[in-house]
Structure 1
Amino acid sequence: MTATESQTEVQPEDRPALEIPDALPLQPEDPPRVGEFWLRGRLGANAAGFLYTASAEDGRDAIVAMMTEGSADDAAARERFVNAVDDLPVDAVLAHNGSDDDDLALWAAIGPIRTADGSSAASDERLIAERRGEEILSAVLMDRIPQTGKLRGPDFRHYWENRRRPGLFRIWPLPWPSALRPASRWSLALALLTMAVIMALAVFLAWLLFRHAAPLEPEPVIPTPSGTTTVTVTPTTPPPGSGSPTTVGPTVTRPTTINPTETPPTGTPPTPTDPGDKF
């Protein structure tokens, strides 16, 4: 084998090319849906927000730009996001939430994107939408503003740059079960049925255990309309060796009258009040 043949065998062109996915998988903290668009994957992220690939139920594809938790809490950052969305062409913004949702992160769906058919036009539309989404997040982060003057002192940094989790979102109507596959729907129905059977079995076992349970002692005292109550007196047996005779007898029940205005007697006689205490 010559040196030329050995070099030919290790040429990188002979190896299969690595396929780079269009988007990274969604993370657990990512919202499954914003508005009418279902998020499919992450395209990019920075301190200002995230870029997602998304598609609506009617088949429309879009790029969704969404603010982070930190930038969504800054009123100035929210205003820059709204201004950047307003600067885009009218047909480029498919949907967005209202800027008056102070408790939610702002997002905007950018398109239109032709269905991925392998044509160059569909790729160009997707690339244009991605660039517009990046421009929105760059306007929030202010990282493309040209420098005026000389660089002096420390570099500028937003106070919310460390809070890079996705901002708060609200899903209504609920995403399930419309987003579930038939197999997932059967799993959900089976899980709900299993929970119902377990709860019914627990209630049945509790009824079997406590149906013959003795009443609580002592029983509650319930006054009658005539103002009398029934008090049950049960003789007790002193412990052995105490020297007292053992008393065993039936339970004695006698009615007693309780006057709510009468003060029960105590062991200490009342102290006469001084007339001067009345003044």
Structure 2
Amino acid sequence: MTATDSQPEVQPADAPEVRPALEIPDALPLQPEDPPRVGEFWLRGRLGANAAGFLYAASDDTGRSAVVAMMTEGSADDAAARERFVHSVDALPEDAVLAHNDSDDDDLALWVAIGPIREDDGSSAVSDERLLAERRGEEVLSAVLMDRIPQIGKLRGPDFRHYWENRRRPGLFRIWPLPWPEALRPASRWALALALLTMAVIMALAVFLAWLLFRHAQPLEPEPVIPTPTGTATVTVTPTTPPPGTGSGSPTTGAPTTVTPTTGVPTVAPTGSPNSPTNPGDKF
């Protein structure tokens, strides 16, 4: 090893800083309103969007990749826009249309899967096929917007605009069979199982704590009245002692109270004998 090999390379002070190139993702993440699946294709991300529809990167259960063009909520409710979408799909080559839904589904947004796109092996041919599929999807959505029709005559008046351009949410879709749990990865399955187990443990702990709190709870007062076979109900009144400072008085003796089912008026039975003298102060 020479002396020059052991010394680090010195860059001039005015040399620009070398930064790594930014990696542009192939597709943007899906939004909560985006469908997870249309037909047999699972959507992986957004490739583009305009007032007419969305472009998605998708693949089916066999790993076949495709570009899915789907109408928005506003354009799917316009019969003329749906007709332009169908005519644009019919104009594509037969081998480029992998799948599409029925145009008679008036309550659903129209979509089409465009390909074929071979498995990504890092070659330029795969990139060319993906770009071609995206270009065809853009042409389908542009036919709905009619933004590539050449202008005839002179420009006069305000610009043309569709009445449904503000309704840019994805159109209605139907998923059958349900995507769960086929769309879950192994890591997602473990996370779902752990979440369900945690919920079960929390529920069991809540039930156990409720049992500990209320296991020694006293019954509610007064106790429920249970009628006797003779048609009367007997309620025992608990003797009470007047609080201190309220004056003289004798505690109330416990006397059975009989409630008749007809009148419902309680009557208190006398506690003394029939021959006991009455209070001389009672004149009435």
Which TM-score applies when normalising by structure 1?
Answer: 0.74
Letter in structure 2 aligned against 1:112:
P
CA gap of 1:17–1:190, structure 2 versus 1, over 3 A, is closer
Instruction: State the Cα distance separating 1:49 from its structure 2 match.
Output: 0.8
2:235 to 232, 235, 243: 232
Letter in structure 2 aligned against 1:187:
A
Equivalent residue number for residue 158 of structure 1: 162
Q: Note if 1:56 corresponds to 2:60.
A: yes
Maintained 8 Å contact 1:228/1:258: no
> Partners in 2 of 1:182 and 1:223 — Cα distance?
64
Maintained 8 Å contact 2:28/2:47: yes
Instruction: State the Cα distance separating 1:221 from its structure 2 match.
Output: 5.8
CA gap of 1:256–1:31, structure 2 versus 1, over 3 A, is same
> Partners in 1 of 2:169 and 2:241 — Cα distance?
71
CA gap of 1:121–1:207, structure 2 versus 1, over 3 A, is same
Stretch moving more, 148-157 or 228-237: 228-237
Letter in structure 1 aligned against 2:200:
A
| Aligned pairs for 1:202-241 within 5 A | 202-218=206-222, 228=231, 230=233, 232=235, 234=237
SS in 2 for 1:258: coil
> Partners in 1 of 2:60 and 2:84 — Cα distance?
26
> Partners in 1 of 2:20 and 2:188 — Cα distance?
36
Larger radius of gyration: 2
> Partners in 1 of 2:136 and 2:243 — Cα distance?
91
> Partners in 2 of 1:258 and 1:75 — Cα distance?
74
Letter in structure 1 aligned against 2:51:
A
Deviations 1:159-181 (A, max 9, x none): 22122232333333333333333
Q: Which has the higher helix share?
A: 1
| Aligned pairs for 1:20-169 within 5 A | 20-169=24-173
> Partners in 1 of 2:20 and 2:190 — Cα distance?
40
> Partners in 2 of 1:157 and 1:58 — Cα distance?
41
> Partners in 2 of 1:35 and 1:19 — Cα distance?
31
Instruction: State the Cα distance separating 1:117 from its structure 2 match.
Output: 2.6
> Structure 1, unaligned stretches of length 5 or more?
1-5, 265-279
> Partners in 2 of 1:100 and 1:89 — Cα distance?
22
SS in 2 for 1:257: coil
Instruction: State the Cα distance separating 1:107 from its structure 2 match.
Output: 1.6
Aligned residues, how many?
250
Calculate the aligned-residue CA RMSD, in Å.
Answer: 3.3
Letter in structure 2 aligned against 1:154:
P
> Partners in 2 of 1:105 and 1:182 — Cα distance?
32
Stretch moving more, 47-56 or 242-251: 242-251
Instruction: State the Cα distance separating 1:91 from its structure 2 match.
Output: 2.8
Maintained 8 Å contact 1:42/1:53: yes
> Partners in 2 of 1:160 and 1:227 — Cα distance?
79
Deviations 1:151-197 (A, max 9, x none): 22111111221222323333333333333332222221111111111
CA gap of 1:206–1:127, structure 2 versus 1, over 3 A, is same
Letter in structure 1 aligned against 2:198:
T
Equivalent residue number for residue 256 of structure 1: 260
Letter in structure 1 aligned against 2:128:
D
Deviations 1:73-110 (A, max 9, x none): 33332332233223323332212233344443322111
SS in 1 for 2:260: strand
SS in 2 for 1:95: strand
CA gap of 1:255–1:188, structure 2 versus 1, over 3 A, is same
Equivalent residue number for residue 188 of structure 2: 184
> Partners in 1 of 2:230 and 2:99 — Cα distance?
73
Instruction: State the Cα distance separating 1:227 from its structure 2 match.
Output: 9.3
Letter in structure 2 aligned against 1:44:
G
Which TM-score applies when normalising by structure 2?
Answer: 0.72
SS in 2 for 1:42: strand
Maintained 8 Å contact 1:47/1:68: yes
Equivalent residue number for residue 269 of structure 1: none
